[in-house]
Structure 1
Amino acid sequence: MHVPELLESVSLLVPEAIATENDITVGDIWEYLVHDEWEIALGLLEELGDGHPLPLSFWEKLADAADQLRLERSAAWCHWRCSEIRNGVVRADLTLRPAAEARRTTPISGPGVLRPMWDIGHLSPTGEPAVNIARLWVEGMPYLAPGGRATVRLVPLTPSQWEHVQPGRRITMHEDRTVAGTAVVLEVHPPVPPPSRGRGRE
Structure 2
Amino acid sequence: MDVAELLEAASLLIPEATATENDITVRDVWEYLVHDEWEVALGLLEELGDSHPLPVMFWETLADAAEQLRLERSAAWCHWRCFEIRHGVIRADLTLRPAAEARRKTPAAGAGVLRPMWNIGHLSATGEPVLHIARLWVEGRPFLEPGGRSSIRLAPLDPSPWQHLEPGQRITMHEDRSVAGTATILGVQPPATAKPSG
What TM-score do you get using the length of structure 2 for normalisation?
0.94
The alignment status of 1:32 with 2:17, answered yes or no, reads no
Do the aligned residues in 2 keep the contact of 1:135 with 1:155 (CA within 8 Å)? yes
Structure 1, unpaired ranges of 5+: 196-202
Q: Relative to structure 1, is the Cα distance of residues 121 and 194 closer, same or farther in structure 2, using a 3 angstrom cutoff?
A: closer
CA offset digits 1:97-143 (Å, max 9, x no partner): 11111111111011111001110011112221101111101111111
One-letter amino acid matched to 2:25 = T
Say yes or no: does 1:6 pair with 2:6.
yes
The residue type equivalent to 2:170 in the other structure is R
Give 1:127's aligned residue. 127
Give the corresponding residue for 1:61: 61
Give 2:88's aligned amino acid. G
Q: Give unmatched runs, 5+ long, in structure 2.
A: none
8 Å CA contact retained: 1:87, 1:191: yes
Asked if the contact 1:88–1:156 (Cα under 8 Å) also holds between the matched residues in 2, the reply is: no
Once the 2 structures are TM-superposed, how far is the Cα of residue 194 of structure 1 from its aligned partner? 7.2
2:155 is matched with: 155
- SS state of the match for residue 17, structure 1? coil
RMSD: 1.4
CA distance in 2 between counterparts of 1:194 and 1:64 reads 25
The percentage of counterpart residues that share the same residue type is 75
Q: 1:92–1:183: 8 Å Cα contact kept in structure 2?
A: yes
Q: TM-score, normalised by structure 1?
A: 0.92
Aligned to 2:178: 178
* Separation in 2, partners of 1:22, 1:96: 32
CA distance in 2, matches of 1:42, 1:194: 28
Q: Secondary structure at the match of 1:193?
A: coil
Within 5 Å, which residues of 2 pair with 1:98-137? 98-137=98-137
Does residue 39 of structure 2 align to residue 42 of structure 1?
no
How far is 1:22 from its partner?
2.2
Tell me if structure 2 keeps the 8 A contact 1:87–1:158. Answer: no
Q: Which amino acid aligns with 1:54?
A: L
CA contact (8 A) 1:95 1:182 kept: yes
State the AA in 2 paired with 1:40. Answer: V
Structure 1 Cα separation of the partners of residues 194 and 165 of structure 2: 22
Provide the aligned length of Structure 1 versus Structure 2.
195
Q: What are the equivalent positions in structure 2 for 1:82-93 lying under 5 Å apart?
A: 82-93=82-93
Q: Which amino acid aligns with 1:108?
A: A
Contact kept? 1:103, 1:180, Cα under 8 Å: yes
Query: Which amino acid counterpart does residue 129 of structure 1 have in structure 2?
Result: P
Please tell me whether the aligned partners of residues 116 and 135 of structure 1 are also in contact (alpha carbons under 8 angstroms).
yes
